[in-house]
Amino acid sequence: MHNQHPKQTAQIRSRFTHVMRVAGKLLAIGGLMTVSQGCPDIESHGSLYQNAGQAFEGCNSSEIQWLAKKHNMMGAFKYCGSNHFRNYAWSPTGELLFFDLPTTANLMDAGKKNKPLYRIPINPPMGQSTWLNQQKIAFPQGASATDEDRQSRIGIFDTFQHTLDYRETDGISDLDELQSGQDVSTVYFTGSDKDGTRSIYKLDVDDGSITTAFPWYEGLVDTFTYTPEADTVVVGTGGTVRAYKGATGKPLGEWSPAIRGVMHPDGTWLALEHEGEEVSVFYQRRWEKQKGRDWAQEKQRVSNLEKNLPSWYNPKVRLPTVSFVEIATDKRWAVTSFYGEKFSWYPPINKRAKYFGSYILWGFEGKQLNRNVILGDMTMLISAMKSADTSAEIQLMEPQKASEPKVEPEASKTPIEGDSEKNVPDAKTP
């Protein structure tokens, strides 16, 4: 173990203290230790066989914790837990975290000191869920083998009363991407009709009716999000993301490459996800290890190894990259400090938490790590983007021409009438 330079340690401690102070006022999810004086020396520049083995080494909690603190982030669960998350959703006040695992649906009360976990008595959702209010959550449910009608449905679970209700989605299957509307009775979602065409629908929770969500949109849908505070629809298709005003369909912009996007509640910043640069699965190192003669030599050795691998084996992985677009200027910056998917803006319940974000972790600084639901302060990143500061954490992206949106052959749609998981991840304890 080597000692971190005091000045660098102080800078990291100062940045982490800021995010912890703010998060501590929001909820009790923090509870992390202060930054240690020493930086764990996780890797050494060993032989190629050692490095190849380290690509699949066991989880190191100290390393993940260090990198999270370094970039103003914190994990909702133990860093080396059995964190096989599929989807997650923060409640409107940011105190409850709903998440699903392969065979269970779960709830963490992050507002309490010990952050207790509860297993919800429902079948695992088949896609993204959404909160209707601080009490009720809506989730997509596939048809069960025991269902006589073989219908998909949207479930509504009351976390206070522990009641469960369903709304049928007659003729619509593969439900996903549930999004809350501007009132508690509206839920938007994507689904496929009997011909396999995927569209955006609107469910009225009160009467159970389902209609086309946005009649002005006639394109195909790969991904979809809706931000009620900004009344913004964001649709991804064919490697391009487009944003529109919900009420009118007015285009707000389009960006490529991009898979998915979500608008900030104030409508000024758009978070985008895309597949970034390729990195080797054999040799991934955090920033301070990516320099010097040893780094260059190891990269060359790995390159030679990859050339001799079977043609069917892909030794590369694309970084799941998050970027941010300033709507007023259309400037876009890619983030290089963290990587992940399913980014969402954490509920901005006070001014100091305005630019908090959450996502499912892939890794930090180009190194893949154990999955987790991460909460982080994006304020410093966005501040650097606004001032166009040069930073190792952000890169200005050149605009690329977007592909033409595909249009469905028939755009018009008629209204439609009408517990086995043993390894639930452990919540982190203070």
pTM, entire model: 0.79
Asked if omega into 257 is within 30° of 0 (cis), the reply is yes
Residue 197 has pLDDT above 70, yes or no: yes
Residue ranges of the domains in the chain? 2-397
CA geometry: angle at 348 spanning 389 and 24, to 5°? 90
Among candidate residues 186, 254, 194, the one with its CA nearest the CA of residue 219: 254
What are the pLDDT digits (tens) for 352-383? Answer: 789 999 999 999 998 899 999 999 999 999 99
Among candidate residues 81, 47, 48, 44, the one with its CA nearest the CA of residue 64: 81
What are the pLDDT digits (tens) for 214-271? Answer: 999 999 999 999 999 999 999 999 999 999 999 999 999 999 999 999 999 999 999 9
Instruction: Give the whole-angstrom CA distance, residue 103 versus residue 123.
Output: 7
pLDDT, position 404:
55
Provide mean pLDDT across the span 128-143.
Answer: 94
Who's near 163: CB < 8 A, 6+ residues apart?
Answer: 157
The third-level CATH classification (topology) of the domain covering 2-397 is Neuraminidase (2.120.10)
